[in-house]
Amino acid sequence: MEKIGVYIDTGYGIGEALDIDALKDVAVKEYKVPLCKTRDYWCDEDAVGEIKSDIEKEGLDGLVIAGTSPRVHRDIFSFEGIYVERVNLREQVIWCHPAGDEDTQMLAEDNLRMGIARAKKSSFKPLFPETLDEDIDKTILVVGGGITGITAAQGAADAGYKVVLVEKEKELGGWAAKMYKYYPVTSPYTELEGPDIESKIEAVKNNDRIKIYTGSRIFKLQGAPGLFDAYIMPDGDWENKPSYLVYEAKKAALASAEGKEDKKEEEKPPETEAPKEEEIPADAFKERVGAAVLATGWRPDDPNKLEFLGGGKFKDVITNIQMEEMAKNGAIKRPSDGKEVNSVVFLQSLRENEENPLIYCSSVCDMVTLKQARYLREKNPDAKAYILYKNLRAPGQFELFYKKTQEDENIFFSKGNVYGVEEEGGGLVVKVKDSLLGEDIKIKTDMVVLGMGMVPVTLDSSVLNLDYRQNAAVPTNKFGYPDSHFVCFPYETQRTGIYSAGCIRQAMDHASCIEDGLGATLKAIQCVELTSQGKAVSPRAGDTTYPEFFMQRCTQCKRCTEECPFGAINEDEKANPLPNQTRCRRCGICLGACPERIISFGDYSIEVIGSMIKAINVPDEFEEKPRILLFICENDAYPALDMTGFHRMQYNAWIRVIPMRCLGSMHLVWIADALANGFDGMFLMGCEKGDDYQCHFVKGSELAGIRMEKIKETLDRLMLESERIRVETVSIADYNKIPEMLDEFAEKIEELGPNPYKV
């Protein structure tokens, strides 16, 4: 920024703990800022008024406000069109370091130096291209025309958006339309409910805002949020099209991965590419859309895997899907001879056995069984139903349906492990151990119904055939679900603008699918709205910065295109990165990846952070004041460090803090800068990684760890102790552990002695 005003807050005890005149000298004498003011509580209304009038009178374009943490009063210190840099003197200086102390003062002065340096180097450029705004299309693409997709399409249309709905079957409705009855979701939750999907299908068909393609699939989805082009291939001949539509390999991987935790590699979908331009069939339709709801649902697990239960072997061992079809078509009869069924054994939790422990539970199978036992009894009042289970799962108000079902004397419940089903005397025999009676029992029955697990179709198919550099499929987790943060960002995938809904993201009941269709649609709408304003979506919602690539210096090393957790960057034939601005989440991981240092944000770049490092006064080795640079993730670790201060826990004052958008945006050159500047140690603090990662940008923390391992090797080669660099993961609740971590590291650095490159 060109003209910066510095405002130092002396309230909150800052004025007593620090030498404010010396701080002022830093701004006025060292940095020669045109305006530097001090007072108690700049957050007060009259003070904010004063800042506003300074902005106008002095023509300031940047402010440095030194006082509370940037996490506090963000709303108050927000001025239209003005760059605001906050210098943390309270939480991270006076609350965690002794007042009136030389080291505390040096820390405060360095913090101010870093703030002013950053404000000077930062700019609002590059601006998001205005032309993009006009091109942004807000149509919502819904893929999958089951209950989830239909609800999503209707919801988007009701909210005023155009919709393109694509369903691979000839008719809309999916599984919901194939059901005979639903288990109850309305009070008093005890009686079966009829399917109500027909009216919903009609409503969607008659809605002018919704354009429907049935019997169609997405051949290719290219582009970025607001600018997607969907190539839709009609009328069913896809099975004979190129093999990328079906992942046979993936199916095999799933079969082998079930329960085998050491086979993670195989669980990943095979790398595939979207079809090329010339492969697009002439009869494909092209639709411009802004964001997509992925609602392609599930398929039942393969009953052939359950041969020991007669799955795929005996005609009268059927799946719960077949049972539903039979009931919908009329009477429930034995497939083998068409005789009326007088007894049925229902089996649940089928993948749960010693060799093959269940990875996930399909949530609804027990409820489906209860439902089917009930309608079996309705259709055939003489029939008996036996329900064998491990843990009968009827959560929430479903318990009442379970209870009501238990009242029927001809529905028998028993816990037990079924170890075999055999054909015997014209019927079936189900063999059970660990039953209630404690001994092995055999149940003779006319028919066995297998409660099949639900498998997300993302395990079989790339579905959207994304024209993305990383893979044509949306990345999936160990369960095969395409998600990114299970608890906190439920609908998000690792592809910006594509939101998963319904059974594709976890097995769920009909009522939950309806809510899910609406929720994912909201996210899609939010995406097109924010995108049209040049803003990022969550977790940096509203951020208007975006990265600029200085292409002249690019060496086509592909690191940025490989490491972006959101697959935002494509490549041309020569491996030049093709940034897709509207896919970008502004985490800066590409910046951290680029060895040529060509990727920058206006307020976050090699130069901006480098200027902060260089701004710090590093005492020479005779002063015996080592300096440690703490690169800290601003999402969790930074607030945790604030909390350390809030609890007045003390830690070493040699530490200088630089917040990172994500630890994955940490660039190795900053380590080199720090070493060259005489820093003795570098500490990197980021979020938890691994399966249960807390990194807001999925892979950032992990990538930082990998990069640092590499630089440690380099340090060792340079005969510089690799212990000078430490990477730790912390959670936001670890504030009480941080002082020990930092102090221990500081001790270690003191032991190692000064950085030999120190001037």
Partner 1 sequence: MSEKGSVLVVGGGISGITTALEAAEAGRKVVLVEKEPYLGGRVARMNKYFPKLCPPTCGLEINFKRLRQNPDIKVYTLSQVENISGEKGNYKVTIKVNPRYVDDRSATTQCVEECPSEIDNELNYNMDKIKAVRLPLDMAYPMKLVADRDALEKIKDSDEYNKFASECEKKGIKINLDDVPKTIEENVGSIVWATGWQPYDATKLDNLGFGKYKDVITNVIMERLASQNGPTNGQITRPSDGKKVETVAFVQCAGSRDENYLPYCSGICCLASLKQATYIRDQYPDAKIYIFYIDLRSHGRFEEFYNRVQKDENIILIKGKIAKVTEDPQTKDLIVEGENTDTGEKVGTKVDMVVLATGIVPSTKDEPAPIDATYDEFGFMLEDPAKSGIHPAGCVKKPMDVGSSLSDATAAALKALIDTVK
Task: Restricting to residues 523-582, name those near partner 1 by CB under 8 A.
Answer: 523, 525-526, 529-530, 537-539, 541-542
Is 125 near partner 1 (CB under 8 A)? Answer: no
Q: How far apart are CA 513 and CA 561, in angstroms?
A: 34
Q: How far apart are CA 2 and CA 608, in angstroms?
A: 14
Is 392 near partner 1 (CB under 8 A)? Answer: yes
Candidates 130-138, 461-469, 563-571, 632-640; binding stretch for partner 1 (CB under 8 A): 632-640
Candidates 275-283, 502-510, 590-598, 620-628; binding stretch for partner 1 (CB under 8 A): 502-510
Nearer to partner 1 among residue 122 and residue 362 (C-beta): 362
Whole-number minimum distance, CB 734 to partner 1, in Å?
A: 8
Nearer to partner 1 among residue 177 and residue 518 (C-beta): 518
Nearer to partner 1 among residue 460 and residue 636 (C-beta): 636
Is 490 near partner 1 (CB under 8 A)? Answer: yes
Is 462 near partner 1 (CB under 8 A)? Answer: no
CA 398, 402, 407, 408 torsion-angle sign: positive
Query: Is residue 390 within 8 Å of 206, Cβ to Cβ?
Result: no
Is 646 near partner 1 (CB under 8 A)? Answer: yes
Give the residue from 593, 590, 496, 487 showing the smallest Cα distance to 541: 496
Is 160 near partner 1 (CB under 8 A)? Answer: yes
The CA-CA-CA angle for residues 325, 327, 329, to 5°, reads: 70
Query: Is residue 474 within 8 Å of 482, Cβ to Cβ?
Result: yes
Residue that has been written with the tokens 């034939």 in this structure = 573
Q: How far apart are CA 138 and CA 291, in angstroms?
A: 7
Nearer to partner 1 among residue 28 and residue 84 (C-beta): 84
Exactly one of 53, 78, 650, 714 binds partner 1 (CB under 8 A); that residue is: 78
Exactly one of 491, 549, 654, 670 binds partner 1 (CB under 8 A); that residue is: 491
83-88 β-sheet, strand order = 35-39, 4-9, 62-67, 83-88
Q: Which of residues 180-219 bind partner 1 (CB under 8 A)?
A: 186-189
Is 488 near partner 1 (CB under 8 A)? Answer: yes
Q: DSSP string of 471-505?
A: -SSPP--TTS---SBTTTBTTB-SSTTEEE-GGGT
Nearer to partner 1 among residue 140 and residue 383 (C-beta): 140
Bridge partners for 412 per DSSP: 386
Is 460 near partner 1 (CB under 8 A)? Answer: no
Is 381 near partner 1 (CB under 8 A)? Answer: no
Nearer to partner 1 among residue 87 and residue 599 (C-beta): 87
Backbone angles phi, psi at 306, to 5 degrees: -105, 50
Is 79 near partner 1 (CB under 8 A)? Answer: no
Rg (the chain; Cα; Å): 31
Whole-number minimum distance, CB 394 to partner 1, in Å?
A: 6
Is 513 near partner 1 (CB under 8 A)? Answer: no
Size of the site for partner 1 (CB under 8 A): 90
β-pairing verdict for 210-213 and 285-289: unpaired
Is 676 near partner 1 (CB under 8 A)? Answer: no
Exactly one of 399, 424, 620, 709 binds partner 1 (CB under 8 A); that residue is: 399
Q: How far apart are CA 693 and CA 485, in angstroms?
A: 8
Query: Is residue 708 within 8 Å of 656, Cβ to Cβ?
Result: no
Q: Which of residues 315-374 bind partner 1 (CB under 8 A)?
A: 357-363
Nearer to partner 1 among residue 78 and residue 329 (C-beta): 78
Nearer to partner 1 among residue 487 and residue 719 (C-beta): 487
317-319 β-sheet, strand order = 317-319, 447-450, 343-347, 384-389, 411-415
Q: Which of residues 11-40 bind partner 1 (CB under 8 A)?
A: 11-13, 40
Exactly one of 127, 255, 331, 436 binds partner 1 (CB under 8 A); that residue is: 436
Type of residue numbered 756: P
Q: Which of residues 727-756 bind partner 1 (CB under 8 A)?
A: 731-733, 735-736
Binding characters for partner 1, 136-155, by CB under 8 A (x = yes) = -------------------x
Q: How far apart are CA 171 and CA 202, in angstroms?
A: 11
Question: By three-state DSSP, how is residue 275 classified?
Answer: coil
Q: How far apart are CA 229 and CA 179, in angstroms?
A: 34
Is 262 near partner 1 (CB under 8 A)? Answer: no
Whole-number minimum distance, CB 50 to partner 1, in Å?
A: 16
Residue that has been written with the tokens 């007072």 in this structure = 39
Is 129 near partner 1 (CB under 8 A)? Answer: no
